[in-house]
């Protein structure tokens, strides 16, 4: 890497999956800090900025809620840090329920190295999410029928959005979308469904989506809006 070393915090380094992640990061010239879950971890994330956090799930020795609260606290040095949960396969659904509640992404510990590394790379490019309540029109292709659905955005970033709505769309489905930014500016493009919400834990019924492509100047328009809304600016 051409820039100064970037710092990654790996929490719970005894699992096989986490032990696979650390060497990958070191080979990419990241400075890797491995710690066990403990109350001292909360002081660390509040006071020390990291480029990325990779956390084994489930946590032992401390509460995941306490960790997320410390990471996303307004005064935390890690408020803007990407947080990846590396979950035991049988607990992946529980881990994914924490996405958009402070976690950026949750993946299975049994993924192949290439997929695991891609998840890390994706997170290092993710932008902070901005809460925005606007109506979003989606054209979803379900088998042979085309379903025109109306969702409400919960939060949005340059990489995707959390949408509230009752239409059940299968994981991996692609759809065209259109919405208007507050104050004007039309955003159009294509997205795909990457998760379903857990209404009991998240309080909303809907889908998590990843933007696949934008039309015309929509991507630049959205980026300009997010940069104005988020005090730390864009992440690159």
Residue 142: what pLDDT? 54
Residue 148: which of 177, 179, 188, 174 has the closest Cα? 177
Residue 39: which of 69, 11, 62 has the closest Cα? 62
Is the predicted pLDDT of residue 141 greater than 70, yes or no?
A: no
Give residue-wise pLDDT tens across range 119-130. 887 777 655 667
**Could you give the CA distance from residue 232 to residue 101 in angstroms, rounded to a whole number?**
20
More confident residue, 56 or 101: 56
Tell me the pTM: 0.56
Angstrom distances, CA of residue 232 to CA of 76, 142, 184, 220 = 13, 39, 23, 18
Residue 143: what pLDDT? 47
H or E element, residue 147: strand 145-156
Give residue-wise pLDDT tens across range 147-174. 677 888 888 888 888 888 877 788 888 8
Residue 46: what pLDDT? 92
Is the predicted pLDDT of residue 56 greater than 70, yes or no?
A: yes
More confident residue, 189 or 121: 189
**Could you give the CA distance from residue 3 to residue 121 in angstroms, rounded to a whole number?**
16
Domains, the chain: 7-124 (3.40.50.2300), 130-229 (2.40.10.220)
* % the chain with pLDDT above 90: 23
């Amino acid at each position: 890497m051409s820039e100064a070393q970037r710092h990654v915090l790996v929490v719970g380094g005894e699992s096989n999956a986490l032990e696979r992640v650390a060497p990958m990061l070191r080979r990419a010239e990241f400075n890797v800090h491995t710690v066990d879950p403990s109350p001292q971890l909360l002081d660390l994330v509040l006071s020390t900025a990291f480029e990325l956090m990779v956390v084994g799930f489930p946590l032992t020795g401390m509460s995941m809620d306490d960790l997320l609260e410390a990471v996303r606290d307004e005064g935390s040095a890690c408020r803007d840090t990407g947080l990846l949960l590396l979950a035991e396969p049988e607990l992946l659904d529980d881990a994914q329920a924490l996405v958009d509640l402070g976690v950026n992404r949750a993946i299975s510990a049994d993924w192949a190295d290439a997929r695991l590394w891609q998840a890390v790379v994706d997170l290092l490019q993710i932008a902070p999410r901005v809460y925005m309540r606007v109506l979003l029109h989606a054209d979803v292709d379900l088998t042979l029928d085309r379903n025109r659905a109306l969702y409400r955005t919960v939060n949005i970033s340059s990489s995707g959005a959390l949408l509230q709505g009752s239409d059940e769309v299968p994981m991996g489905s692609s759809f065209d979308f259109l919405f208007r930014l507050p104050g004007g500016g039309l955003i159009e493009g294509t997205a795909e469904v990457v998760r379903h919400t857990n209404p009991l834990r998240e309080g909303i019924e809907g889908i998590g989506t990843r933007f696949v492509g934008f039309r015309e100047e929509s991507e630049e328009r959205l980026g300009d809006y997010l940069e104005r809304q988020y005090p730390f600016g864009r992440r690159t």
